[in-house]
Amino acid sequence: MKIITGGSGFIGSAICWRLNNLGFNEIVIVDSDIEGTKQRNLENLKFLEFIDKETFLAKLSNGIFSGKVDTLYHMGACTSTTEDDMDYLTKNNYEYSKTLGQWCLKNNIRYIYASSAATYGAGEMGFDDDEKLIPKLNPLNKYGLSKQMFDMWVLDNNLQNKFVGLKYFNVYGPNENHKDDMRSMVNKAYGQIIKTGKLKLFKSDKPEYGDGEQKRDFIYVKDAVEMTIFFDVTNQTGKSKSGIFNIGSGRASSWNELATAIFKAMGKEPAIEYVDMPDNLKNQYQYYSKANLSKLLDAGYKNNIASLEDSVRDYVVNYLAKDKYLTL
């Protein structure tokens, strides 16, 4: 049996979808919400049951959770990069992760948890997932700090040889409609272009970057999920790898490149308007990110990673334009 926390969310539901495709249906979905748009993420997917997050935690603390679990995918968290309540972030992204990690240790369960590229901050130390560099990282926002706190707890307790932490970069793709302001630019742009015929991008406040030339590592959710389950069911080396790894494309693409790919997928000529960045984002905005994937590749991951243009086309044409979600 496998458990996915945040299982009705973006990456969590995509993991369930991919596991189903591989024949794994004994899955327990844990989340705090199964209403509205998130409910659609689970339509036609196969799993044993849905358990509310608080009920799940109560069962763990009382020792009454039943079933033999081999892997826990912990994707449940507050994912808002603009969240300012540190107590809330600490409870949801640090304490919750600790509770599950300790339970997995006690019960000999594989623990795969979501960290974030937000831990790298402005990239002063680069984007290398060498665990020796993690203590030196300086996240730009409280969300990134909460993820950094748990990575540090793992390292301080020498658990990097037992747990798998995944630093997700800018993930986009089907099943993210419920994320509101935290939806990817591809998702937001599609709606903007349909409504207005143009796309708004932030101007640059740094002379070394032109408007729209800020660069990020954009990774399609299908590739992100393949990298995730590699640490559970698809590793062909016969050895279970552990540690903290980057999950990205290994490419730095500009927002202009992303925008061009979106317009092309929609069969339209690019029409971009550059607007001022809100003041509350200026001090926590990443101008550049690019995942170093050497560690992942050294662990044995061999799948090709879709190009930006191909993955954007798949998302736009096969999902956004058809109002489709990941289904079997």
- Taking each helix axis as running N to C, give the angle between helix 53-62 and helix 96-107, from 0 to 180 degrees, rounded to the nearest 10: 40
The CA distances from residue 27 to 19, 46, 68, 314, in Å, are 9, 8, 11, 27
Strand partners, 309: none
Side-chain half-sphere exposure of 56, counting CA atoms within 13 A:
24
The CA distances from residue 209 to 213, 254, 289, in Å, are 6, 10, 13
> Distance (Å, rounded) from C-alpha 226 to C-alpha 204?
34
The contacts of residue 144 (CB under 8 Å, 6+ apart) are: 81, 116, 118, 119, 120, 121
Question: Are residues 73 and 112 in contact, defined by beta-carbon separation less than 8 angstroms?
Answer: yes
- The active-site residue, picked from 53, 98, 162, 179, is 179
Nearest to 243 by CA among 158, 300, 136, 304: 158
> Distance (Å, rounded) from C-alpha 129 to C-alpha 110?
20
Is 322 buried (19+), middle (13-18) or exposed (0-12) by CB count in 10 A?
exposed
Nearest to 252 by CA among 205, 288, 220: 288
Strand partners, 272: 199
209 is catalytic: no
179 is catalytic: yes
Main-chain phi, psi angles of 233, to 5 degrees: -120, -15
- The active-site residue, picked from 73, 94, 96, 143, is 143
SS3 129: coil
Catalytic residue set: 143, 179
